[in-house]
Amino acid sequence: MKIGIIGKKNKQSVYNLAGSLNKWLAEKDVEVYVEEELGKKIDADNTIPEKKMPAVVDVVVVLGGDGTFLGVSRLVHNYNIPIVGINLGALGFLAEFTPEEVYETMERVMDGDYEVEDREMISATIYKNGSKVEDYVVLNDLVINNGPVSRIVDLAIYIDDLKVTTLKADGIILSTPTGSTAYSLSAGGPILYPTLPVILITPICPHLLTNRPLVVPSDSKITIKVLTDTQNTYLTADGQVGTIINMGDEVVLRKADSVVKLVKSPFRNYFSILKDKLMWGERYGSIDG
């Protein structure tokens, strides 16, 4: 088995765990590859450029938080590679394993004693004057808003080429079920079970209260047309990359052809994660309080 290690940059706890995990795996006669920049920090000699890693490994171990996991998901989704997320960040919805569980988890992975959960992704294509100019694939969400200036943006929404509405709002979030617990949740969207085959459309502070979150089948074609004549409308993919879009531009979204293969934790389930991370279902104070 060939295992790759990728970690969050500039974090000492990541360097410490990466160094010990790299040594432990090598002692188990596992072929290990460490992402190049991380490898320099831990004095590893088995390094490889991040972009080349998916082509040579069977499993990727991600050391960091959900942001690091999202970046790796976009790196490996076309390679059918399972991802083991070790949480060294703040939340840990995607990076399900704790540092204390890493060695038992890797023993299970090496023995083939693990489950993989497929998470759907969204593919987005930007068209300018009818010509394709940019493509993105995301695990969490795509956000369209007016960037640094807090102004209302006008967006025409079409589903399967049928006009749904013209939205006047601070923006819009187009989310997978995996991303329903991220920005969409803060904007009033529902929590969706992560393997549901749907896409969630959540307005951000809509001008009309009748514009509510909408859930559509993930095999739908969703088209967002920009109607606002400003220079600040921005599309952001997974909160990490993006581009400016202008009046008349169209963003066409569909279910991506690929999925992210997430190694499931045997130590907890999705609902326990909701309870632990978001205190979902918890009651505050006493009944009499």
List residues with catalytic annotation: 66
DSSP H helical segments within 154-267, as ranges?
A: 183-186
> Where is 32: in which H helix or E strand?
strand 31-35
Strand partners, 137: 123
Tell me the three state secondary structure of residue 233: coil
Strands 82-87 and 59-64: parallel
Tokens of 173: 């979030």
Residue 99 CB partners (closer than 8 Å, separation 6+)? 13, 17, 86, 87, 88
Report the C-alpha gap between 29 and 109 in whole angstroms. Answer: 14
Tokens of 157: 């929404």
d(CA 205, CA 185): 13
Read off the amino acid at residue 82.
Answer: P
